[in-house]
Structure 1
Amino acid sequence: MFVASTVCFLVFMYVTSVACRADREPECSRFHYEEQLLEKMVRMEFNVERIQQRLDSVSESCAKLEDSTRLKEEVKDQVGSVYTRWGRDTCPTGSSFIYDGFVAGSHYTHTGSGVNYLCLSKEPRWANGSPTASEVGLIYGAEYEINTANILTHIHNNEVPCAACKSRGATIMIPGRNICYHGWKLEYYGYLMASFQSHAGSKEFICVDSEAMVAEGSNSGDQNGALLYFVKAVCGALKCPPYDGNKLITCAVCSQTK
């Protein structure tokens, strides 16, 4: 009887224990789930904060880059480079017009005075009192001397216009090419011109626009003065090829873009 009672008691205790564990198990699992969910939310919030910090950093870097780029463009606009467009009285697209005028220089027979061509303004202003002198250098208007060429002969003996222009980048005149190198923008191209080889007064080489025009008020009379001739290469020390002694030397005026 005692043994049977003991066995019944043990069975009852076991069933009760199992039932208690079964009753508590959902409660424990629910707590564990909520704990994991809370942990995930905390981690997510932390990750969101880190992403926001990175986005703020990227936005700040972009703003600085934009400001730097804008500053560079402003500096470039302010600095730029000034050049003369020989043979035209306007500036190419993208360049700022400063003034237009007439090409001038010393007489082709004179050994003195200046050796360079100038772009004289169309609107001269004189000093007060009209100062003068008896011993001076002389400056003459320039004329195209191109009647022996097979191009632009319709402007032979006419006076030469010019324009002062400002580009956004540094400029260079490249003799021997009519296109620019990589990183440079073509302002205009044309032909290298200077004084005649045997004239007493030598001049600098300038790049005259391929679509050269006549100056305002010009006439085709042979008035001479500072003259402009096309230029050819002399083979020897100057290698042919790549040069050709029968072809007119081209040129390009280029502005830096990078």
Structure 2
Amino acid sequence: MFVASTVCFLVFMYVTLVACSADREPECSRFHYEEQLLEKMVRMEFNVERIQQRLDSVSESCAKLDDSTRLTEEVKDQVGSVYTRWGRNTCPTGSSFIYDGFVVGSHYTHTGSGANYLCLSKEPRWANGSPTASDVGLIYGAEYETSSANILTHFHNNEVPCAACRSRGPTIMIPGRNICFEGWKLEYHGYLMTSYQSHAGSKEFICVDSEATVAEGSNPGNQDEALLFFVKAVCGSLKCPPYDGNKLITCAVCSQTK
């Protein structure tokens, strides 16, 4: 009887121990799972902080890049390039106006004085004391000489205006074209003009606007001083084609956009 009771007790204790072990196992597994979940959440929070730091760094770099780009544009706007618009007293859209005036040059019969045309301000300012001299170079107002042409004939003998303008980029005058090359913006186009071929005083070639006007206060009276004639090509060393000895040479003033 005692042995039977003992065996039954031992069996009971064994079953109880097994049952307790089975009951504790899920508790142990659940604790381990929660511990791992907490660890993952901590790691995730750490990674989020690192990502946020990187995002802040990228945002700061983008802001600096924006500031640099804006500064570059401001510097570009401040630098630009200055050119003369011959034949007009205003500047094209997109260019800044500096001043306007009258086209002048040396007399067409003189061999001395300057060889270039100037855009002389129409608002002169004189030095104190009115300094003067007797041996000097001379400048004269320029006139359109267009009576033999089939364009701008109504401007013949009228004085020529001009304007000093500033573009946002470098500028170039392209003779022989009335449009710009790729990457360049057209400021204005027109015709090459200079002094007459057999006149004593040689002048530079300038690009006179195709939509030219006359100078303020101009009159069609014949002064014959500094003169502007259209230009043609002479075939020979200059190949025809592509040039044509019967056509007026065009020109374009272009500013760089890239």
Paired AA for residue 203 in structure 1: K
Whole-Å separation in 2 of the counterparts to 1:219 and 1:176: 31
Q: Please give the residue correspondences for 1:35-114 in structure 2 after superposition, counting only pairs within 5 Å.
A: 35-114=35-114
Residue 15 of structure 1 deviates from its aligned partner by: 2.5
Segments of 5+ residues of structure 1 without an aligned counterpart are none
Write out per-residue CA displacement over residues 67-90 of structure 1, whole angstroms, 9 at most, x where no aligned residue.
211221222222222111100001
Q: Which stretch shifts more, 200-209 or 180-189?
A: 180-189
| CA distance in 2 between partners of 1:234 and 1:41 (Å) | 86
Deviation of 1:119 after TM superposition, in Å, equals 0.6
Count of aligned residue pairs for this structure pair: 258
TM-score by length of 2: 0.92
For 2:150, the equivalent position in structure 1 comes to 150
Distance in 1 (alpha carbons) for counterparts of 2:234 and 2:74: 45
The residue aligned with 2:180 is: 180
Instruction: Return the TM-score normalized by structure 1.
Output: 0.92
Q: Secondary structure at the residue paired with 1:36? A: helix
Change (3 A) 1:250 1:7: farther
2:112 paired with 1:120 = no
Aligned residue in 2 for 1:139: 139
Structure 1 residue 184 displacement after superposition: 2.2
How far apart are residue 38 of structure 1 and its match?
0.9
Instruction: Give RMSD over aligned pairs.
Output: 1.9
- Residues 182-202 of structure 1 show CA distances to partners (whole Å, capped at 9, x for unaligned) of 332221111111111111111
Question: 1:175 deviation in Å?
Answer: 1.3
1:13 Cα deviation from its structure 2 partner: 4.3
SS at match of 2:208: strand
Q: Does 1:223 align with 2:214?
A: no
The amino acid that maps onto 1:100 is: D
Give the share of equivalent positions with the same residue, in percent.
90
Counterpart in the other structure of 1:191: 191
After superposition, what is the alpha-carbon deviation per residue over 1:31-89, rounded to whole angstroms, capped at 9, x for unaligned? 12211211221121122112112111111111211121122122222222211110000
Offset from partner CA, 1:153-209 (integer Å, 9 cap, x none): 221221100011112222111112222223322211111111111111111011111
CA distance in 2, matches of 1:109, 1:127: 30
Task: Identify the residue that residue 130 of structure 2 maps to in structure 1.
Answer: 130
- Corresponding residue for residue 30 of structure 2: 30
The CA distance in 2 between the partners of 1:43 and 1:22, in whole Å, is 32
Counterpart amino acid of residue 124 in structure 2: P
**1:105 offset after TM fit, Å?**
0.2
Please give the secondary structure, in 1, of the residue aligned with 2:15: helix
Structure 2 distance, partners of 1:11, 1:243, is 120
Which residue of structure 2 lines up, in the alignment, with residue 256 of structure 1?
Answer: 256
Q: 1:195 to 1:34 in 2, by over 3 A?
A: same
> How many Å separate the matches in 1 of 2:99 and 2:187?
16
Inter-CA distance 2–126: structure 2 relative to 1 (3 Å threshold): same
